[in-house]
Amino acid sequence: MHYPMNKPTIFTVRTILIFVLFSLMATACQQNYVPKPRGYFRIELPERSYREMDSTLPYSFSLPVYCKITPDTYSPNEPAWINVEFPNLNAKLHLSYKTIDKNLAKYLDDTHMLVSKHIPKATAIEESQINNPEHHMYGTIYRIQGSEAASVYQFYVTDSTHHFMRGALYFNSEPNNDSLVPVIDFVSKDIDHIIETLRWKK
């Protein structure tokens, strides 16, 4: 005796589909997910080259050809204060100059205070000494590490008797130094060159 087979109902087919869907989802969830590393835009760096700075300032140095010098508009009473701008890299090196008049200790204290302001955002601050007796250049370079540090490179130089200069590098963007590592390294080498070629005028 044969019994007629019931055709699958819409409810049965839907139940099977739901079961298969959940099975696939469960299998997918068991796979190990590896997030992709964060990517950054590629930054085109200029070909490194220098020229001698020609000015009436009380100091001189060899300037990258892709930089321009602008006055510090925030300090109109300080004509020897300038900015070395890197337009294509969105960076600016601020240089402030003072004549020493028995106040070197104050300038040094001010420098240490300005560097210490970056400590809360810094993971480390590396110091290296500047010692060039031939050209009367003495000072310290501060390389400030940390993704949120506002200024990653600062320095001061002095001849201890007449001249004092302080420099600080800034980028015209929100601090995200992890993405700026190639630019920071590139500009830092240019600042090293500026310091090496810095000369006081009599």
Residues 6 or more apart from 59 whose CB is under 8 A from it?
A: 80, 97, 163, 165, 198, 199, 200, 201
Residues 6 or more apart from 105 whose CB is under 8 A from it?
A: none
Architecture (CATH level 2) of domain 57-200: 3-Layer(aba) Sandwich (3.40)
pLDDT at 180: 87
Q: What is the pLDDT of residues 122-133, one digit of tens each?
A: 999 999 999 999
Q: What is the pLDDT of residues 60-105, one digit of tens each?
A: 999 999 999 999 999 999 999 999 999 999 999 999 999 999 999 9
Q: Where are the domains of the chain?
A: 57-200
Higher pLDDT, 119 or 195: 195
Instruction: Name the average pLDDT for the chain.
Output: 86
**Among the listed residues 176, 174, 175, 169, the one whose alpha carbon sits nearest the alpha carbon of residue 152:** 169
Residues 6 or more apart from 40 whose CB is under 8 A from it?
A: 179
Higher pLDDT, 175 or 126: 126
pLDDT at 147: 85
**Among the listed residues 71, 98, 53, the one whose alpha carbon sits nearest the alpha carbon of residue 198:** 53
β-pair partners for 165: 97, 157
